[in-house]
Amino acid sequence: MSDRPTSGPAPRYGEYAPIPEKIEAPAPPPADETPDTARQQMGAKPQRAWDRALTIGLLAVGAVNLFFSVPQFADFGDSLREVFTQNGFGTYTSDGLAGVLGAVAIVAQLVILSFTIFFARRNLAAGRISFWIPLVGAVLSLVVVTAVVLGAMLPDPALRAWFDAQMSAAMATQSTPTATP
């Protein structure tokens, strides 16, 4: 027994489909409907004003952060020298490394912000929630900048000498015997 209604050869693709005589265009929305209501009736995703505002605000914060960090990374050796002096680490001497890593930080932040803007704009245009994209971009930028700063600070001889002095002082206080009554 077959599950086809009739016996005989199997129908070809589209054989039972009716042939449309005329394709009708969808009627325009009535004048009293807003475009959002018409869009929702046609199945499009609704626009979220809070998401758009939050996404654009977070992207603006990222752009301002990049704008204010460029001078610090452009003169990264002087910035690190000031940090070392203020914290008592000695004098920063790895200016060549700081110059290269400062340029890497600027380019990396610019690339991350560009991709973040691209993907956020694409998601907003598609009507999807997008505020998380600038947050991911910020975390990624933070990881890259932290790696660059540590890469510039840790190889410096002044910081290593400061760590050695701190370790020697800590070992000296631990190795002195205390009298017990």
Q: Are 153 and 74 in contact (CB under 8 A)?
A: no
Residue 140 lies in a domain: yes
Count Cβ neighbours within 10 Å for each residue of 30-42 and write b for 16 or more, e otherwise.
Answer: eeeeeeeeebeee
- pLDDT band at residue 70, thresholds of 50, 70 and 90? very high
| pTM (2 d.p.) | 0.67
Residue 33 lies in a domain: no
State which amino acid sits at residue 45. Answer: K
Residue 56 lies in a domain: yes
Residue 178 lies in a domain: no
Q: Is the pLDDT of residue 43 over 60?
A: no
